[in-house]
Amino acid sequence: QIEMYEEGLIDFSKVKTFNLDEYYKLPIYNDQSYHYFMDENLFNHIKKNRENIYIPNGMSDDIEAECVSYDQLIDNNGGIDIQVLGIGNNAHIGFNEPTINFKKGTHIVTLDESTRQA
């Protein structure tokens, strides 16, 4: 929606974003990371407050604690009003593979090979 932003139809300056996912142990500067993707495809093109951009820290040494912390961060900011999800070729939703039991809250999953290759 960069075009709508450029036309003055959308103001992102007060929007808080919480990314749905990030790859585990992939540095944020890697062109496959969601930090990189979001910067290149949205954040670098709009006026925003960097303090309102949240993406899970996939480089955390304690990933379980990072998941709990991310959930608390979402709760402390009033929850999620709108969620944009991707549906993969194998019908995964937001990287929740169809073969796993869906867990509430932030969690780590092992991606199917077909998802990794997509």
CATH number at residue 105: 3.40.50.1360
Task: Give the pTM.
Answer: 0.86
Domain count, the chain: 1
Alpha-carbon gap, residue 24 to 85, rounded angstroms: 19
Residue positions annotated with a catalytic role: 21, 90, 92, 97
Cα(24)–Cα(2) distance, integer angstroms: 28
Q: Would you give per-residue pLDDT tens digits along the chain (118 residues)?
A: 789 999 999 999 999 999 999 999 999 999 999 999 999 999 999 999 999 999 999 999 999 999 999 999 999 999 999 998 888 888 888 777 787 777 789 988 888 787 788 7
**Tokens encoding 18:** 């919480």
55 burial class (0-12, 13-18, 19+ CB within 10 angstroms)? buried
Residue 11 structural domain: 2-117
